[in-house]
Amino acid sequence: MKKKLLYFMPDNPMSGKAGNTTRLNQMLSYFNTFESVEITFVSLKDWGLWKEDEKILFSEKYPNIELILLDKKYKHHFFKYFFLYKLPYLFRKNPIDMTSWILRKEFAEIANTRHFDNFIISYATWGEIINKVKTKSNFIIDTHDFITAQNSNKCKKIGKLFQGEIDILKKFDEIWTYSVEEEYIFGQFTNKKVKHMPVPFPQKQLMPLQHKYKYDVVYVASNNPHNVNSINWFLEKVLPHLKDTIKIHIIGKVGKEIKKEYPDVVIHGMVDDLKEFYDNARITICPMLSGTGVKIKVLESLSNNLPVVTNTRGVDGLSQKVDNGCLVTDDAKEFAEYMEILLKNDELYDALRHKAHEFIKNNHSLEKEIVFFKNKFS
């Protein structure tokens, strides 16, 4: 008899190329190959803004995974929206909880009738979704981020937020985290099994050094507030220090948030395939002044043997803070100097390419994670 696994993630894997959807598609691609496990993927129709063609695309891409879409708010039905979402949400007990009464109810109806062996729930903010589940199963919370740290500007509420996050994590049998710092924090305060899950990437072959590149500098990002704030810092503080011969190529939804035109900055918006840019770039950047957890786009760049210039926050969560293919600084002028050095100094550039390659091979092996998942759930 096949084992059953339910994987919950509110986001839409068919929409965008942000770090969270990159990881989501990676997980789904693993699960789609599991012949001895029945996989059900539960997502939120009104959160992920699912379109009909995206449902079809999902079934074509992941034919071995059942897709179930639930609603969080029921805005199309006024009474359900007001009495089963809006009113209860105003009186929620946990300050980080983003679930609703009706979502917990509908999720429990699926869980309690289908008898899953394992549940994987993404984000502590959605952890309360299991509150009405009565089955004896293994419950895993895939944290993605340290939610309290995302609210570091709310100093007066930090205590309540942290307590709320820990209370949710304690409901689960296992806690997964991508960050070594978060592994320590969650382990200290929950007394639960905490597993560090380094986000893996396929290892790109290290090719001979080129001397001409189509793209000098590439930056890939979504339009979350941390990225928007950080790219504005780069454009206002770092860009003036760069020579006007250097072209900056900005990819992703973050481009929509850039309201001014800047010389030598090319905004591509959403692209069909990042491979074109990673294969033909000299370096990438990841300006990052705030935010929590591992930066997926940093790892993605390193897995493509591309040196990264970033801030201190850009290497958060990495098991190695040095000798990893990154040059790190919080000073705008030095940030620009690092970029220029890597663009003209082949010896340093090649050394960082090799460090990036070794770092990914030793710490973010795709093969090791696939074996882990198959052993755990098969």
Nearest to 23 by CA among 222, 267, 309, 315: 222
Nearest 5 degrees, angle CA 136-CA 95-CA 70?
Answer: 55
pLDDT 10s digits, 202-252: 889 999 998 899 999 999 998 988 999 999 999 999 999 998 899 999 999
**What pLDDT band is residue 272 in, cutting at 50, 70 and 90?**
confident
Whether the CB-CB separation of 343 and 283 falls below 8 Å is answered with yes
What is the mean predicted confidence (pLDDT) over 116-129?
97
CA 256 – CA 113 distance, rounded (Å) = 44
Higher pLDDT: 189 or 93? It is 189
Q: Who contacts 100 (Cβ-Cβ below 8 Å, separation ≥6)?
A: 72, 73, 84, 85, 88, 89
Helix 19-31 and helix 366-377: axis angle, to 10°? 50
Alpha helix locations (H) across the chain? 19-31, 45-48, 52-61, 78-81, 87-90, 101-114, 147-150, 158-169, 180-190, 225-233, 275-279, 296-303, 332-344, 346-363, 366-377
pLDDT of residue 281: 97
For the whole model, what pTM was predicted?
Answer: 0.84
CA 135 – CA 291 distance, rounded (Å) = 36
- For residue 234, the 8-state DSSP code is I
**What pLDDT band is residue 183 in, cutting at 50, 70 and 90?**
very high
Residue with the two structure tokens 């109806």:
109
Q: Which of 59-63, 68-72, 190-194, 304-308 has the lowest mean pLDDT?
A: 68-72
Which structural domains are found in the chain, ordered by start?
3-197 (3.40.50.2000), 215-363 (3.40.50.2000)
What is the mean predicted confidence (pLDDT) over 108-115?
94
Q: Who contacts 278 (Cβ-Cβ below 8 Å, separation ≥6)?
A: 218, 284, 300, 301, 304, 306
Nearest to 298 by CA among 277, 326, 321: 326
CA 350 – CA 342 distance, rounded (Å) = 9
**What pLDDT band is residue 189 in, cutting at 50, 70 and 90?**
very high
